Amino acid sequence: MPQTLFDQIWDSHRVGARSDGRDLLYIDRHVLHELHAHHAFAQMERQGRPVHRPDLTFAVQDHTVATKPGRDDTTNPSGTAFIVAMREGCHKNGIRLFDVDDPEQGISHVVAPELGIVLPGATHAVPDSHASTVGGVGALAFGCGTSELAHILATQVMALKRPKRMRVRLDGRLDAHVNAKDVALKLIAELGVAGARGHVVEYAGAAVAAMPIEQRMTLCNLNIEMGGRSGFVAPDDATFAWLAGRPFAPQGALWERALAHWRTLHSDDDAAFERETTLDCTALEPQITWGTDPSQVVGISGRVPEPDAIEPARRAAAQSAFAYMGIAPGTPLAGLPVDRVFIGSCTNSRLPDLQTAAAVVRGRRVAPGVVAMVVPGSSRVKREAEAAGLDRVFRDAGFFWGESGCSMCAGGNGDRGQPGERCVSTTNRNFENRQGPKVRTHLASPATAAASAIAGRIADVRQLLAGAT
């Protein structure tokens, strides 16, 4: 019977079924972060339960770490207790921790694939909703809560109801200065913030095949913003080339054996999906959010929609977003003055994201009055960017160049905007108050964010580079 790749991975990881009908899905790689780990460690200790597979478990300090150069445990005082508790829990339980000062520290979703910890066809869990970022290398990843985190520590399985299958076909070819972020925002706009609820999404099609692995990760990262249970791209030669030689990837004969298996990881031609949708990416322009949820999106040449143009069920939410964002219907997005720009987060903080932004910034200056930040997704990305001189490009232009972490994505480390500020951000959520009380977040690609920092206004990167103002 024809199978989807999702079924192939699920069935090969299904340990059995529990009495309540849930499948027990084996988790090959479990990665913790400090914001939630301490609850689970405390629970395990209270219940006297050991960690079943510390060797398959990793931990990263990312949500609360300061980004200030020379940072330590106490640079962000509200993170100290979390960082210390995580360190103690990992030590006690024999879990490999990428600590604040570790050369491999970074955002879990960036670190796990770049070290080759997560692999094609592997199952992966993180107590964070953006776990499916690693779907970009063909892994099946689930975000989970704290109780589930403890459950995985104790048993190395998740007890799940089998999700439904969905395929999103991305056809056509992306124009210059348009990338996976723009595609994902367009998709969320089309499908809505609950459009993929209950489904695992396989992203396929010519536009996906042409995407570098980092962009596939951006695409899969934003899967949760349309409610998807998980999302991935079937691995291909580009994936294998990207993973080869990474520290935790198999080496030598084992690599060859793994590679032979990975080449079997694809959906059969006539496999059935409960839902299928297609988006033609040809002529797609850079996208940006205007409102307070990630489906409130327009093209960079577009305007804030008129209430009449919004479906009735979404109108009240739009009205509330107009007020919060301080923008009236009909206002063009391009040209809105910007106070702050943030380039980073698990969505857009990998080396190619920074290269794209640097190419826009090079030889230009951040507009007066704009606070602009670049926070690499991992300490490794930071080193590689510095080796390529990107830090100089950003610094010379007036950007802050930080130590890696989640930073302003959710502001858990104290990096936040001021009330009323308008911020163009490469992150994943434009929810009210997320980047600081009353901060007005516009989600966009690294290229759009960089162009907006230079222009001091929301800008079309294509016009900026063409010399128009």
Partner 1 sequence: MQPFTHITGVAAPLLKDDINTDQIAPIMHSRSLKEDYKAMLFHRARRRDDGSEDPGFVLNKPQFRTAAILVTGHNFGAGSSRESAVWSMLANDIRVIVAKSFADIYRENCLQNGVLPVVLSPQDADVFIARVVAADGTAPFTVDLMTQSISGPGGPDIAFDMPAAERTRLIEGLDDIELTLKHMDEITGFERRAADAQPWLQRTTDSRR
Name which of residues 70 to 109 contact partner 1 (CB under 8 A): 77-78, 81-82, 85, 96
Q: Quick one: which of 310, 317, 359, 465 contacts partner 1 (CB under 8 A)?
A: 317
Contact residues for 221 (Cβ-Cβ < 8 A; gap 6+): 109, 130, 132, 133, 136, 184, 346, 347, 428
DSSP classification of residue 8: H
The answer to whether residue 316 forms part of the interface with partner 1 (CB under 8 A) is yes
The answer to whether residue 459 forms part of the interface with partner 1 (CB under 8 A) is no
5 φ, ψ (degrees, to nearest 5):
-65, -35
**Cα separation, 152 vs 260, whole angstroms:** 29
Q: Quick one: which of 11, 45, 49, 323 contacts partner 1 (CB under 8 A)?
A: 49
Q: Which is nearer to partner 1, 96 or 392 (CB)?
A: 96
Smallest distance from the beta carbon of 170 to partner 1, in angstroms? 23
The answer to whether residue 247 forms part of the interface with partner 1 (CB under 8 A) is yes
Region near partner 1 per CB under 8 A, out of 25-33, 208-216, 394-402, 441-449: 25-33
Region near partner 1 per CB under 8 A, out of 118-126, 302-310, 367-375, 379-387: 118-126
Using CB under 8 A, which residues numbered 188 to 207 contact partner 1? 193-194, 197-198
| 464 contacts 362 by C-beta, under 8 angstroms | no
The answer to whether residue 260 forms part of the interface with partner 1 (CB under 8 A) is no
Region near partner 1 per CB under 8 A, out of 23-31, 65-73, 325-333, 459-467: 23-31
> In this structure, what token pair is assigned to residue 229?
């249970």
| Side-by-side strand order, sheet with 23-26 | 14-17, 23-26, 157-160
Region near partner 1 per CB under 8 A, out of 53-61, 273-281, 396-404, 447-455: 53-61
The answer to whether residue 122 forms part of the interface with partner 1 (CB under 8 A) is yes
| 114 contacts 246 by C-beta, under 8 angstroms | yes
| 211 contacts 181 by C-beta, under 8 angstroms | no
Q: Which is nearer to partner 1, 34 or 391 (CB)?
A: 34
Smallest distance from the beta carbon of 251 to partner 1, in angstroms? 5
The answer to whether residue 324 forms part of the interface with partner 1 (CB under 8 A) is no
* Number of residues located near partner 1, criterion CB under 8 A: 78
Smallest distance from the beta carbon of 100 to partner 1, in angstroms? 17
Q: Which is nearer to partner 1, 126 or 366 (CB)?
A: 126
Smallest distance from the beta carbon of 469 to partner 1, in angstroms? 36
DSSP classification of residue 21: S
Strand partners of residue 442 = 424
> Which string of x and - marks every residue 144-173 that binds partner 1 (by CB under 8 A)?
xxxxx-xx--xxxx-x---x----------
| Cβ count near 377 (within 10 Å) | 32
| Cβ count near 219 (within 10 Å) | 30
Q: Quick one: which of 2, 11, 18, 395 contacts partner 1 (CB under 8 A)?
A: 18
> Which string of x and - marks every residue 329-368 that binds partner 1 (by CB under 8 A)?
----------------------------------------
17 φ, ψ (degrees, to nearest 5):
-120, 140
Strand 371-374 to strand 340-343: parallel, antiparallel, or no bridges (unpaired)? parallel
Region near partner 1 per CB under 8 A, out of 114-122, 297-305, 332-340, 356-364: 114-122
Q: How far is CA 33 from the centre of its chain?
A: 15
Using CB under 8 A, which residues numbered 29 to 48 contact partner 1? 29, 35-36, 38-39, 47
Strand 164-171 to strand 157-160: parallel, antiparallel, or no bridges (unpaired)? unpaired
Q: Which is nearer to partner 1, 315 or 395 (CB)?
A: 315
**Residue 400 exposed, middle or buried by CB count within 10 Å (0-12, 13-18, 19+):** middle
| 386 contacts 253 by C-beta, under 8 angstroms | no
Q: Quick one: which of 1, 20, 176, 466 contacts partner 1 (CB under 8 A)?
A: 20
> In this structure, what token pair is assigned to residue 120?
């094609």
Using CB under 8 A, which residues numbered 389 to 448 contact partner 1? 410-412, 414, 416, 429, 431-434, 437
Q: Which is nearer to partner 1, 150 or 189 (CB)?
A: 150
DSSP classification of residue 285: P
The answer to whether residue 143 forms part of the interface with partner 1 (CB under 8 A) is yes
Q: Quick one: which of 52, 68, 162, 275 contacts partner 1 (CB under 8 A)?
A: 52
Bin 130: left if φ > 0, else alpha if -120 < ψ < 50, else beta. alpha
The answer to whether residue 382 forms part of the interface with partner 1 (CB under 8 A) is no
Radius of gyration of the chain (CA): 21
The answer to whether residue 303 forms part of the interface with partner 1 (CB under 8 A) is no
**Cα separation, 200 vs 273, whole angstroms:** 10
SS3 call for 446: helix
